[in-house]
Amino acid sequence: MMFTRRRLLPILLLLLTVSGILIAAAALYIRSAPGVPVLNYHQVEDKDGNPLTLHPEQFAAQMDYLAAEGYTTITIDEMLDAAEHGAPLPEKPVVITFDDGYDDNYTNAYPILKEHGFKATIFLIYDFTDTYPGYLTWAQIEEMKESGLIRFESHTMTHANLAQLTSIDELRHEIADSHDLLSEKLGYDMQYIAYPGGRVNKEIECITRAAGYRGGFTVHCGRSTPEDGIYQMDRIPIFGANMHTLTRFKLRLALAPLIEPLEDLRLSLRAHGLTGIADWMPIP
């Protein structure tokens, strides 16, 4: 049956109405969704093709955007104090984190953060620090620490896949020893750990708690909601090879509550062998 213009009009109006309702519902859900965006970076340098790398000009544009939009950087302690004790937060809080402790965090990211007066946390791999080329030195760490802007926490001893370690002693070495050695080196107790690759389970969580950490972070995409579990807190990964457009950053920052269930669905599809469908999903 052919549709005349007269018959198409109510169909189009219905589609527009449904679309408007869905958009309004999504906007309401995002506004009411709990949690604080915790951004997860790694390297900031001029390198192409590395999925962990952000170019300095891209990082600068993202920090400029946060400043222009009225975001206030807070510490992880401030985020947990708000969740656990009702401490006040600024209207648009954001936490900035870096994993691994690359030296470009000092040479490239730190000057940009300092320009805006932004706070950040860098998770260090103890055995890599001041040991291998491309990683921070203790002198660089001390300078950043003295600025009052940068906090350092644990990313384990060797960046091992914790979920694949079968020995309790190995797990304690990675988690507890990094806590104690970094605390001694930096002059304050380590409060947080970022699990390498985000891999964590109940046993790892138990050892983390016993080691004296206040909380732990994965790389599961979503706003951080300490109320749902302080030892498996979400972050918003900001990496993906050459996909670091400012538009993509804005979408991930704004739509994290919607991206989270989509990421879960994609992981489930891959776990069931439906990789093609998972890769097709248009997630920013």
Q: What is the pLDDT of residues 56-98, one digit of tens each?
A: 999 999 999 999 999 999 999 999 999 999 999 999 999 999 9
Quote the strand ranges of the chain, DSSP E: 38-41, 43-44, 53-54, 72-73, 93-100, 120-124, 150-154, 192-194, 215-221, 233-237
Q: How far apart are the first and last CA of the chain?
A: 39
**CA distances for 239 relative to 90, 198, 231, 234, angstroms:** 26, 14, 23, 15
Give, in degrees to the nearest 5, the angle at Cα 221 between 57 and 271: 125
Q: Assign 198 to helix, strand or coil.
A: helix
- Strand-pair partners of 236: 39
Alpha-carbon distance of 80 to 66, in angstroms, equals 21
Question: Any idea which of 27-36, 191-200, 221-230 has the lowest mean pLDDT?
Answer: 27-36
Give, in degrees to the nearest 5, the angle at Cα 177 between 173 and 179: 135
Mean of all residue pLDDT scores within the chain: 87
Alpha-carbon distance of 39 to 237, in angstroms, equals 6
The structural domains of the chain, with segments of one domain joined by +, span 34-244
**CA distances for 238 relative to 37, 108, 176, 277, 279, angstroms:** 11, 16, 28, 23, 18
Question: Any idea which of 23-37, 75-89, 213-227, 240-254 has the lowest mean pLDDT?
Answer: 23-37
Which pLDDT band holds residue 273 (cuts at 50, 70, 90)?
Answer: confident
pLDDT on residue 23: 38
Which pLDDT band holds residue 26 (cuts at 50, 70, 90)?
Answer: very low
Q: Assign 153 to helix, strand or coil.
A: strand
Is the model's pTM score more than 0.85? yes
Greatest mean pLDDT among 21-25, 192-196, 197-201 lies in 192-196
May I ask the CATH class of domain 34-244? Answer: alpha beta
pLDDT on residue 153: 98
**241 or 282, greater pLDDT:** 282
